[in-house]
Amino acid sequence: MKKHKLLFNFFKSTNAIIGTSIIILFLLTALLAPYLAPQPPNAQSLKNALTPPGREYLLGTDEFGRSILSRIIFGARVSLNITLLASIVALGIGVPLGALAGYYGGVLDFIVEGLVDITWAFPVILAALAIMFILGTGLHSIMIAIGVVYWAGYARITRGQFLALREEEYVQAARAVGASNLRIIWRHLLPNSLAPLLVQLSLGMGQVILLEASLSFLGLGAQPPTPSWGSMLSKGQAYLLNASWLTLFPGLAIMLVVLGFNLIGDGLRDALDPRLSHTRK
């Protein structure tokens, strides 16, 4: 499909436009954080501790009197950095391995499937923790840990697609006229596997943000005073009864960004797969 046609199809969808807007907004927030934040994210003001949302502090303050809005703005940097790099790691490992396993089958499939099963045998949080134990804590470790944890999803989907598609008539026809394996994979199987992969990538990016937030919530991700959405929620739990804004707004920020990625994924799926898009009309 030509690029301009793809873009045209993509932006026909209201959801895709909303999703793209959310992600652009958060990218800009992360990039321009020092200029956008009304107060420095770590500036304490004990006399203003636990101030409800109002004129001076738009989203209120935490137990140290730090601006929730400023901390959310700076937290966007942590989340978006981790998302992009962890997804590249996951995709870079998962797609080639899944493609080889699905296309060639046999021993290769057995090994990749074994690796997928071993990876999936560990719940993602546990696996991420184990990897971080080995690599040590810190944002780089989180990126690698999350990326390594999520490779298997991409591999399983690519493998499943290749397995289903390799016996299709058009692939057999390509084989019959003498197309090489590489050509069949690159020209026929991969383009036809893109739609579910892109949907998975968009959902995957959301999952990465959720996992990072979970690790930070457990106190194992970004360390204080680095503002991260997950650790803000963790600290806010103690104030659920009398200062709910401590948990409300960081959670809302996580949800919005994940929603943005999900909406983009939906839009991409419809744009890439007109057949699917027709069924929606």
Partner 1 sequence: MYQYILKRVLMMLPVLLAVTIIVFLIVHLIPGDPARLVVGEMGSQQAYDRVRAELGLDKPLYIQYFSFLDRLFHLNLGKSIVYREDVTKLLAAKLPNTLELTGSALIFTYLFAIPLGILAAVKRNTVIDYLSMGLAIIGVSVPSFWLGFLLISLFAIHLHWFPIAGYGGIKYLVLPAVALGFGGAALVARMMRSSLLEVINQDYTVTAKAKGLRYWTVITKHALRNALIPIVTLLGLQVGWLVGGAVVIEIVFLRPGVGRLIVKSIYMRDFPVVQGITLILAVTVILGNLLADILYAVTDPKVRY
Closest separation in Å from C-beta 123 to partner 1: 3
Q: In terms of CB distance, is 134 or 177 closer to partner 1? A: 134
Closest separation in Å from C-beta 216 to partner 1: 11
53 binds partner 1 (CB under 8 A): no
Contacts of 72 (CB under 8 A, 6+ apart): 59, 227, 229, 232, 249, 250, 253
Rg (CA), the chain: 22
- Token pair 């940097």 is at which residue? 77
In whole angstroms, what is the distance from residue 187 CA to residue 146 CA? Answer: 30
Neighbours of 11 (CB within 10 A): 13
What DSSP string runs through 84-131? Answer: HHHHHHHHHHHHHHHHHHHHH-HHHHHHHHHHHHHHHHS-HHHHHHHH
What's the token pair of residue 193? 């596997």
123 binds partner 1 (CB under 8 A): yes
Closest separation in Å from C-beta 121 to partner 1: 4
263 binds partner 1 (CB under 8 A): yes
Measured CA distances, 155 to 110, 142, 166, 195, 229 (Å): 13, 21, 16, 14, 29
Bridge partners of residue 67, in order along the sequence: 61
Closest separation in Å from C-beta 272 to partner 1: 13
Which position among 32, 126, 173, 238 is part of the footprint of partner 1 (CB under 8 A)?
Answer: 126
21 binds partner 1 (CB under 8 A): no
**110 backbone dihedrals φ, ψ, rounded to 5°:** -60, -45
Closest separation in Å from C-beta 244 to partner 1: 6
Neighbours of 237 (CB within 10 A): 10
Total residues binding partner 1 (CB under 8 A): 49
User: 210 and 128 in contact (C-beta within 8 Å)?
Assistant: no
Which position among 36, 125, 139, 194 is part of the footprint of partner 1 (CB under 8 A)?
Answer: 125
Q: In terms of CB distance, is 190 or 254 closer to partner 1? A: 254
What's the token pair of residue 96? 């080639």
Residues within window 165-194 making contact with partner 1, judged by CB under 8 A: none
45 binds partner 1 (CB under 8 A): no
255 binds partner 1 (CB under 8 A): yes
130 binds partner 1 (CB under 8 A): yes
120 binds partner 1 (CB under 8 A): yes
Q: In terms of CB distance, is 39 or 95 closer to partner 1? A: 95
Q: In a 3-state reduction of DSSP, which class is residue 61?
A: strand
Q: How far is CA 39 from the centre of its chain?
A: 28
Applying CB under 8 A, which part among 33-41, 118-126, 138-146, 176-184 lies near partner 1? 118-126
Residues within window 212-231 making contact with partner 1, judged by CB under 8 A: 213-214, 217-220, 230
Chain residues binding partner 1 by CB under 8 A are 110, 113-114, 117-118, 120-126, 129-130, 133-134, 136, 153, 160, 203, 206, 210, 213-214, 217-220, 230, 233, 236-237, 240-241, 244, 247, 251, 254-256, 258-259, 262-263, 266, 276, 279-281
